[in-house]
Amino acid sequence: MSRRAEPTPVDEFDEKAARAELKRLAQAIAHHDRLYYEKDAPEVSDAEYDALRRRNTAIEERFPDLVRADSPSHRVGAAPATGFAKVTHAKPMLSLDNAFDEADVRAFFQSVRNFFRRPEDLERVDPASIEVAAEPKIDGLSCSLRYEHGRLVLAATRGDGVTGEDVTANVRTLRDVPHELHGSDWPARIEVRGEVYMERPGFFALNGEREAAGEPAFANPRNAAAGSLRQLDPAITAARPLKFFAYAWGEAAAPIAETHWQALQRFRAWGFRVNPLSKLCRGVDEVLAFHRDMAAQRAELPYDIDGVVYKVNDLDLEERLGFAARAPRWAIAHKFPAQQAQTVLKEIVIQVGRQGSLTPVAVLEPVTVGGVVVQRATLHNEDEIARKDIREGDTVTIQRAGDVIPQVVSVVMERRPRSSKPYAFPQECPICRSLAVREPGEAVRRCTGGLICPAQAVERLRHFVSRDAFDIEGLGARHIADFWEDRLIRSPADIFRLDYEAISRREGWGEQSAAKLREAIDARRTITLDRFIYALGIPQVGQQTAKLLARHYRSLTRWRTAMEQAQDRDGEAWRELNDIHGIGEDTATDVAGFFAEKHNRQLLDDLLREVTVAGYAGARPPADSPLAGKTIVFTGTLTAMSRSEAKTRAEALGATVSGSVSGKTDYLVVGADAGSKAEKARALGVKTMSEEEWLALAGR
């Protein structure tokens, strides 16, 4: 029999262990998001990825005070790829939370019921009878189509949910996408959203053509669709068998329906294809029956689906439910079970990241799982290996649910070689041979070599020029490594002082390619503040945290001055940093700590002699809202609406909702049985208001 070692249960964590695990999960999920959304080359299965997100959510629910600013629950997708113009979505394109079994689905329906408080609402959201639009979840690439006066003017990928790629020319080649909307009952401006996908017969034919031409085959239809839509030459996209199903909308100049089901019918009337298998269900039992029906039909469908999406049908309820950090509260994706296979784990190799983290990677005997050949899997850390007692030479059970590289589920113990030995995690860096240390409470072992470790130095430079940072086209990972090896680059500022004449003489280069590199680098000598902060590679500062800091401080000078003053933990600058909604003490420590190091300040001075950092130019809250730009805190029990609905309404009006009262708080809404927050507000002179005053201000 195989033996499966389970990870430490969430209910056994203390606060210290939970903080370390959340940090590991944030790093792992961000890594997998980049591979999936930017490179169309995932290295873990859907099942493993979803398990990471579920674990992160479970820990955050048990330790709400430990939620990180770069938490995966705040993030969707990854940044748009280089080569296309960037498009900012008028309304974010968020992903969906997932359900994996009947209990998860019933919990979702109950969460909708719990969101509301008014008696007249409760009947409409009864889990036994609520109307829900159920649709097969197509495994493709999300796309938004903008129409003005009935004409297609813009098409964009989801990207990171806020910014996508302009693929208008390519989308115009899809037969399923009307260039002009049919009829005349459409708003003057409307974003129709849906999925670009490829049916299996077209996928197999395309791979046959690629193999005949000596080109690598696509791993699955989803990757084929993504790769086909992201062609710089629209003629290539036109030759690929891409299709489009419409299923949602973004910005609209006027309401298009009262229910989601009505909206789907309007899409059909306007000339779009809507999945004919979609069904209007009533109550949780009907949607579960629909899921079972789709699972039975799955293999017979001409396209891949990986589950069913459920959406609350009433658009008024949808609007009031609103969104959590990365997903709507009114919809959920009910995924299908994963597929499994067995193979031999040939070797465990160690990769070193830019922060010195040692990440073990399983090299597998190639095996086909669900029609896809897989060869590698990330093992995360030494605890993962120890929990599952994974050894080189083991036969392992793996599973995937639509991607390329699987999760190692367990070891098949009866097939373990007699000569097998437990895997000994290295105690030193495999690159620079410095000591590798695991700090108490940390899940990751790190190289102590710092800047003397070539792997860390190279990875930090790769991060600096990456898409989400300075985005220097033509200066890829291989070039960074080569230039480092030949001492052409040692620090970020060196990138802007490259010897292009010397580069032109290098093998594989030339005057023209060196000139193109110089042009690309010079084009990045001015950068926005949020990208600059992210590029510095400060621990725990991902894209979202960088944007939070840039939005708050607005200029590099103000941010740097505040961070240097924040070395005083009793000072106002430190309190201000911690008071930014979304910046916890753990993150604040790392941000302020970056400026405590003399070599980091010198790096900044050197870099600023080469580049200009523009002030933050992100969107400000709507100016016509009475709560625009305000910080609001709720305390006590609200009677007219739940705390979740109140928070959602405040955020929709441009406010930031905080969990604690401080000198930066603008309003404290006081419900019944208010506690210490009301006392603190009075002491700080913060304006308080009753629930009735809040409802009048919020327009409810």
Q: What is the DSSP string of 68-129?
A: -TT-GGG--S-PPPTTS-EEE-SS------EE-SHHHHHHHHHHHHHH---HHHHTTT-TTT
Supply angle C-alpha 80, 84, 87, rounded to 5: 60
The answer to whether 288 and 109 are in contact (CB under 8 A) is no
Kindly state the tokens that stand for 439.
Answer: 């700090």
d(Cα 330, Cα 314) in Å, to the nearest integer? 10
What one-character-per-residue DSSP string does 428-442 give? B-TTT--BEE--TT-
Q: Which residues 6+ apart lie within 8 Å of 222 measured at CB?
A: 40, 139, 140, 141, 197, 198, 304, 402
Residue 23 a catalytic site member? no
Rounded Cα distance, 251 and 73, in Å: 24
Q: What size, in residues, is the chain?
A: 700
User: Which residues, 6 or more positions from 101, have their beta carbon under 8 angstroms from its beta carbon?
Assistant: none
- Nearest partner of 386 among 364, 404, 367, 408, judged by Cα: 408
SS3 102: helix
Q: Which residues contact 586 (CB under 8 A, 6 or more apart)?
A: 19, 23, 66, 68, 540
Residue 159's nearest CA partner among 431, 496, 543 is: 543
- Identify which of 623, 25, 21 has the alpha carbon closest to the alpha carbon of residue 378: 25
**Residues ≥6 apart with Cβ < 8 Å to 142:** 93, 157, 158, 193, 194, 195, 196
* 631-635 and 656-658 beta bridge pairing: parallel
Using an 8 Å Cβ cutoff, are 544 and 74 in contact?
A: yes
Backbone angles phi, psi at 213, to 5 degrees: -90, 5
- Looking at 16, 23, 91, 137, which residue is catalytic? 137
Longest dimension (CA), the chain: 77
CA dihedral 685, 690, 692, 698 (to 10 degrees): 40
Tell me the C-alpha distance between 161 and 609, whole Å: 34
Which residue matches tokens 């590029």?
535
The answer to whether the beta carbons of residues 645 and 117 sit under 8 Å apart is yes
| Start-end of H helices in 242-366 | 260-270, 284-297, 315-321
- Asked whether the CA dihedral 404, 407, 409, 414 is positive or negative, the reply is positive
Contact 31, 361 (CB under 8 A): no
Handedness of CA 542, 544, 547, 553 (dihedral sign): negative
SS3 at position 153: strand
Question: Distance (Å, rounded) from C-alpha 527 to C-alpha 504?
Answer: 27
Rounded to 5 degrees, what angle do the CA atoms 494, 499, 502 make?
140
CA distance 546 to 14: 29
The CA distance from 659 to 631, in Å, is 10
Sign of CA dihedral 439, 441, 444, 450: negative
E strands present in 547-595:
none
Single-letter residue type at 47: A
Which residues, in sequence order, are CB contacts of 247 under 8 Å at separation 6+? 135, 193, 194, 195, 264, 274, 275, 278, 309
As annotated, the active-site residues are: 137
